[in-house]
Structure 1
Amino acid sequence: MTKTTTRDTILIGVFLLLSIVLWNIPTPFDDRIDDTADQYKGAVLSVDNSQLQRHSLVTVGVQILDVKMLEGAHKGEIFTVTNPLMGRLDIDKAFSVGDTALLVVTHTPEGKIDTIVPQDHYRIGLELGLLCLFALLLILFGGKTGAKALLSFIFTGLVLWKILIPSLLLGVDPIWLALAIVAILTGTIIFLVAGLSRMGTVAFLGAMLGITSSCILAIWATSAFKLHGAVMPFAETLLYAGYAHLNITQIYVAAIFVAASGAVMDLAMDVAASLQEVVDTYPSISRREALLSGLRVGRAVVGTMTTTLLLAYSGGYVTLLMAFMAQGIPVINMFNMLYVAAEVVKTLVGSFGLVLVAPFTASIGAILFTQKRKSAQPQKQLSTVLQNP
């Protein structure tokens, strides 16, 4: 076993252990979960819609459902439950015969069933199936690298749920917290994929410089554009739920560079890997030539990555733009509105970090990759490589 393989194995073991620990540690908010309620899967056997009233696009009233419990102590038993529809398309759920529902069952102190609420359609099985299919394809295609990428995916999800979200609710400074979380995740993802190598170090440093730049710009833009965190979904709901002490504007700032961090580290890894390949192929390359080569690679990748970021963000607010266009709102009015301006800032600030991460990574790589070079090799083909990266 080589030294590199040993380091990779140790690194995988460490993050696997950390993932197990994160999975098992409780959050400070776990005690708020109602321990008198249980969740079970149930099959909808019959539906009575006689008490529903339809008004244009919305439906109000109550559905009467017969559901069969598919698990738990009452498995096989049939219950009649109600499903109120409030006329809100974003939260209402209408059931049909043959659907599977997630049933929230509460009990009396004596242990008998008190209420049964059909919370929503049961989607957990499909979600787990998609996750398993994703993991299988990732491992089949990527092999050991795919397995490490899957581990970093799981670790990232656990860090966000077990550390970032509870810490924000506890009032920890959102910007510094998010920077620390992003640094941990960036290091985890990059070093798991690239190993504890010079390439991983270059990619990590380049990515963090790009993310820090996005953070600084996001702080300025939020103030200059007079934006606040209420533009985020459920922000007001959170404030009215007893968390009025939270600085939702700083949470919005943190969300901007956290959302862009994945694309930033991806670009940093692309530039670092390409630059190392050039230096390994031509060990006699000068620092200046290595820098120029890295910049050329970065220039080619940035052109597509910024558009990727635009498409990723725009997909989240396409209905908002459709509504404004349908109402005939002028473009200048549209882009001057709070919600649209907030999305514009999110997109441009993330793209700003992407543009900067390429020169940052190329500069760091030119310094680190050209240190302790091997004996010079002929360079007559080098000009061709630099002209046609």
Structure 2
Amino acid sequence: MSKHLRKVIAAILIPFSAAVVVGLVVLWPGGAPPHQRTGVGFDRQTQQATVTTVTSVSCQVGAGGQAPIGDPSATGGAPAAQEAKKGPCKKATVRVDTGKDKGRTFTELVQPDQTRQLHQGDKVVVAYEPKAPKELQYAVTDLDRKFPMALLAGIFAVAVVVVGRLRGVMALVALAVSFLVLTLFILPAVLQGSNPLLVAVVGSSAIMLIALYMCHGLSARTSVAVLGTLVSLLLIGVLGSQFIGWAALTGNTDDSTGLIHGLYPSIDMSGLLLAGVIIGSLGVLDDVTVTQTSAVWELHEANPSMGWRGLYRAGIRIGRDHIASVVNTLVLAYAGAALPLLLLFSIAQSGVGTVATSELVAEEIVRTLVGSIGLVASVPVTTLLAALVVSADRPAPGTAAPVGAQPVTASGGRGRRRKR
């Protein structure tokens, strides 16, 4: 039965892999479609710049001789004496370092209660609006974080290689490939108007095949993990599609999604939400399926005489512990990403039920629960497949064990050989 199952797995994965390649070719976008800049959020023109000097000035008068934006004394708010208690304002001189205006300087007034303060020598990102008056064309929008981010990425890569060695190197290569598939295929294809769900399925499948086979090799063990991941992704896709539809989730709940919908009205935002659920679940699914498959293979190596039922029972005991940890991990990962939303439960005047069923929060709840169901299902599915496939290597009845070998009990311990 196990040998027949191997053929069935090959008969499924080979056409599936071919379909993924065809899907990549057919849906390949060739770049994001152009659009007219809105000047809002990330759609602004930006340049790199440096803060050259910072001096203290009165908050009453801005750099251009006018009251600064947000100054309460200019709008009939708090008197100037109250503003003075907060400390003096700062006038930062900023030099543009890139673009056609390289070397040009402008001034920025920084209020004492602003979250982001500027200091001499800071590298910053500035927005450019060509239609504005010349003295207002540039404004600081953020700090330049390239160096600390690159340093952190370097530390991560070194840690992975030192601990994982060759496997770590292959994992980094697979990570780079996954990022390329995401940026060169999935995102542009969605912007081009392709069905987000179809794009997510094809892109996620390509990432799954490349990452698993690249990191773990072309083997029956990896193929079982791939098939277990595929079955779980299909379950997540079906459940996500049903419950996103039943809950009437539009996927258009914040400024970012609103801007995307405004720029590209043809994008199916609810489909984009479902695509995010599938892609977000893929990484944790890979971990679960690979771990369960490896556990069953190691149990078989420890006791080759154990049948598929015994392997499944032992593997599922390991899987129960895995389920408890990964579900908690997934929930906390989503909670960390949506931490501002969780604050709504604390500050909302409405009841918890009203807040939890609002679309903004319901999206995260559906995303978490659907992904968790797929994770839970992946454990018995992958464990069963692995037990059936690896039991093909079970020694035939009556085969003598190697001289000096000690049999292994079902629990993995060494025991005495029983007399027959």
Alpha-carbon separation, structure 1, partners of 2:219 and 2:170: 15
1:65 paired residue among 92, 105, 111: 92
Shift of 1:70: 5.7
Measured at CA, do residues 336 and 40 of structure 1 come closer, stay the same or move farther in structure 2, by a change above 3 Å? closer
The structure-2 alpha-carbon separation of the partners of 1:264 and 1:84, relative to structure 1 and needing over 3 Å to count, comes to same
Specify which of 138, 143, 155 is matched with residue 121 of structure 1: 143
**Aligned mate of 2:304, from 264, 267, 283:** 283
Question: Which residue identity is paired with 1:271?
Answer: Q
Kindly indicate whether the alpha-carbon contact (under 8 Å) linking 1:44 and 1:95 is maintained by their aligned counterparts in 2: no
Shift of 1:26: 6.6
Alignment partner of 2:124 out of 101, 120, 132: 101
Counterpart contact for 2:52–2:93, Cα < 8 Å: yes
Question: SS where residue 230 of structure 1 aligns?
Answer: coil
Tell me if structure 2 keeps the 8 A contact 1:271–1:358: yes
Q: Per-residue displacement from partner, 1:99-158 (whole Å, max 9, x unpaired)?
A: 2212467999xxxx9954434211112211111121111111211111111111111111
After superposition, the C-alpha distances for 1:358-385 in whole angstroms (9 at most, x for unaligned) are: 1111111112212244455489533223
Residue 31 to residue 152, structure 1, CA distance change in 2 (3 Å): farther
**Separation (CA, whole Å) in 2 of partners of 1:342 and 1:73:** 43
Change (3 A) 1:30 1:170: closer
Alpha-carbon displacement from aligned partner over 1:165-217 (angstroms, at most 9, x marks no partner) = 00001111111211111111111221122111121111111111111101100
Q: Quick one: distance in 2 between partners of 1:105 and 1:226?
A: 39
Letter in 2 for 1:43: V
**In 2, Cα distance between equivalents of 1:98 and 1:188:** 43
Asked if the contact 1:206–1:268 (Cα under 8 Å) also holds between the matched residues in 2, the reply is: yes
Taking the TM superposition and a 5 Å limit, the aligned residue runs for 1:13-52 are 27-29=31-33, 39-46=47-54, 50=61, 51-52=68-69
Residue 46 (structure 1) shift: 2.1
- Equivalent residue number for residue 22 of structure 2: none
Cα distance in 1 between the residues matched to 2:375 and 2:187 = 25
Q: Look up the equivalent residue of 1:361 and give its one-letter code.
A: T
1:324 aligns with 2:345: yes
The partner residue of 2:231 within 184, 192, 209 is 209
Deviations 1:213-257 (A, max 9, x none): 01100011111222111136511111112x111110111111112
- TM-score with structure 2 length normalisation? 0.73
Indicate how the Cα distance of structure 1 residues 289 and 127 shifts in structure 2: closer, same or farther if over 3 A, else same. same
Q: In structure 1, what is the Cα distance between the partners aligned to 2:100 and 2:356?
A: 56
Query: Residue 293 of structure 2: which of 239, 254, 272 is its match?
Result: 272
CA distance in structure 2 between the aligned counterparts of 1:221 and 1:78, rounded to whole angstroms: 54
Task: Please give the alpha-carbon distance, in whole angstroms, between the structure 2 residues aligned to 1:329 and 1:216.
Answer: 32
Q: CA RMSD in A?
A: 3.5
Q: SS of the residue aligned with 1:186?
A: helix
Runs of at least 5 residues in structure 1 that lack an aligned partner in the other structure:
1-24
Q: Which residue of structure 2 lines up, in the alignment, with residue 11 of structure 1?
A: none
Q: Does the 8 Å CA contact 2:251/2:363 hold for their aligned counterparts? A: no
- Within 5 Å, give how 1:336-375 maps onto structure 2: 336-374=357-395
Query: Does residue 180 of the first structure (1) align with residue 183 of the second (2)?
Result: no
Amino acid paired to 2:297: Q
Q: How does 1:229-268 map to 2 (within 5 A)?
A: 229-231=251-253, 234-241=256-263, 243-268=264-289
Letter aligned with residue 252 of structure 2: A
Aligned to 1:220: 242
**SS at the partner of 1:227?**
coil
Give the direction of change, closer, same or farther, for the CA distance of 1:332–1:26 in structure 2 (3 Å limit): closer
Higher alpha-carbon Rg: 2
> Aligned partners of 2:171 and 2:36: how far apart in 1?
33
- Which deviates further from its counterpart, 305-314 or 326-335? 326-335
Identity of aligned residues (%): 21
Q: Does the CA-based 8 Å contact 2:51-2:92 persist in structure 1?
A: no
What does residue 4 of structure 2 align with?
Answer: none
TM superposition shift of 1:43: 2.9
Report the Cα offset of residue 44 of structure 1. 3.8
Shift of the 250–148 alpha-carbon distance from structure 1 to 2, 3 Å rule, reads same
Q: Distance in 1 between matches of 2:352 and 2:99?
A: 56
SS in 2 for 1:102: strand
1:7 match: none
After TM superposition, the structure 1 stretch with the greater mean CA deviation from structure 2, 290-299 or 203-212, is: 290-299
Unmatched 5+ stretches in structure 2: 1-28, 40-44, 62-67, 79-85, 414-420
Mapped to 1, the partners of 2:213 and 2:231 lie a distance apart of 17
For 2:172 and 2:222, the matched residues in 1 are separated by: 18
Distance across 1 between alignment mates of 2:229 and 2:95 = 52
CA separation of 1:335 and 1:115: change in aligned 2, threshold 3 A = closer
Is this contact kept in 2: 1:174–1:250, CA < 8 A?
yes
User: 2: CA distance between counterparts of 1:146 and 1:175?
Assistant: 31
Task: Tell me which protein shows more strand as a share of its residues.
Answer: 1
> Aligned AA for 2:179?
G
Pick closer, same or farther for the CA change 1:316–1:104 going to 2, 3 Å. closer
Q: Number of aligned pairs?
A: 349
Distance 1:319 1:107 in 2: 34
Aligned residue number for residue 213 of structure 2: 191
> Superposed, which structure 2 residues align to 1:286-297 within 5 Å?
286-297=307-318
What TM-score does the superposition give when structure 1 sets the normalisation length? 0.78
Q: Secondary structure at the match of 2:94?
A: strand
User: For residues 81 and 268 of structure 1, do their structure 2 counterparts lie closer, same or farther at Cα, with a shift above 3 Å needed?
Assistant: same
